[in-house]
Amino acid sequence: MDILEIMQALNACHGPSGNEGQVAAAIRTLAAPYVDEITTDALGNLICHKQGTGPRVMFAAHMDSIGFIITHIDEHGYLRFGQVGGLSAHDLPGTPVRFRNGTRGVVAVQGKVEPKDWKLDHLYIDIGAKDQAEAKTMVQVGDTAVFDTTPFVSGRKLFSPYLDDRIACAILLSAMERIKHAGNDLYFVFTVQEEVGLRGARTAAYGIAPDYGIAVDVTDSDDIPDAPHECSSVAGKGAAIKVMDSSVICHPAVVKTLEDLAQARNIPYQRDILRFGGTDAGAIHQSRSGVYTGGISVATRYVHTPMEVADLDDIEACVALTAAFAQAKLEA
């Protein structure tokens, strides 16, 4: 599978937290040739099962994205919004957005608020409506919008909205394609509502009851100018093997297995420590009586902005490491 084509297909879908159905439908079509069974649970998680007799291994990548939810339409037709997941006011002005019904607009700042003082309350969305009545024929209170920016490749970097976490969905799809004979009982789970509290992973892990869990996600990259060094991973240095973030301390045995597999297969890797944030691993490892849990991440610049950046070679390393763990001889 071509990574850019997958990202283009997934980002063409409308998929903020709680509205992941279009993304799930696209992934279902892409995954169908490589697994034995695909189901959807009550919360909306897409569960792709490749049967095996070994331990149950759950890979999780979240389908949902951050976004906007409309809370008010004023008399001039401008839209006020709340956040679905984490938005920063400083990243948004001038950003094009798209609603599920195809309505498009742009984020703007009210009045003459100084940039240093920007808050989400100072922002609104302009959809080109002449007044409130026209705006209400285009968008309703409660409708959601997402970034309407376009993926592209420059050099060895992939530029795209919602690499968090559609790139991990692409990694799982690519890994599935490579796995021909796996002794382990594999569950590739495309989770919902990660951005608002790891909700989908919690229910999916409870239902599957895995022996092992691997969250595939992005992690901050420490290579930007004047980086605050709150994270350890760097774009271009290989698959980031999670050691710890604010949601999980990964099981040492899983960290070691991932590192041993990377070394044995000459997969470039680095250790990932993040002082903030979390992934689906935070919910998985606490499920039932506990799950041996780890993480494979892509070091990504500008996470939660309208255009995130990751290294194509890192993405390939994550695909290779995911496939290697899926086929490893694991203890039940």
pLDDT in tens, 115-138: 999 999 999 999 999 999 999 999
At the top level of CATH, the class of 3-65+161-327 is: alpha beta
Tokens describing residue 52? 């095996």
Taking residues 214-239, what's their average pLDDT? 95
Tokens describing residue 40? 């959807």
Q: Which CATH number describes the domain made up of 67-147?
A: 2.40.30.40
Pinpoint the residues of the chain covered by CATH 3.40.630.10. 3-65+161-327
Pinpoint the residues of the chain covered by CATH 2.40.30.40. 67-147
| pLDDT band at residue 227 using 50, 70 and 90 as cut-offs | confident
* Residues annotated catalytic, as ranges: 194
Residue pair 49/186 in contact (Cβ under 8 Å)? The answer is: yes
| pLDDT band at residue 283 using 50, 70 and 90 as cut-offs | very high
pLDDT in tens, 83-120: 999 999 999 999 999 999 999 999 999 998 899 999 99
- The verdict on pTM exceeding 0.75 is yes
Q: Is the pLDDT of residue 332 over 80?
A: no
pLDDT for the residue numbered 325: 97
CA distance 43 to 205: 12
Tokens describing residue 81? 């919004």
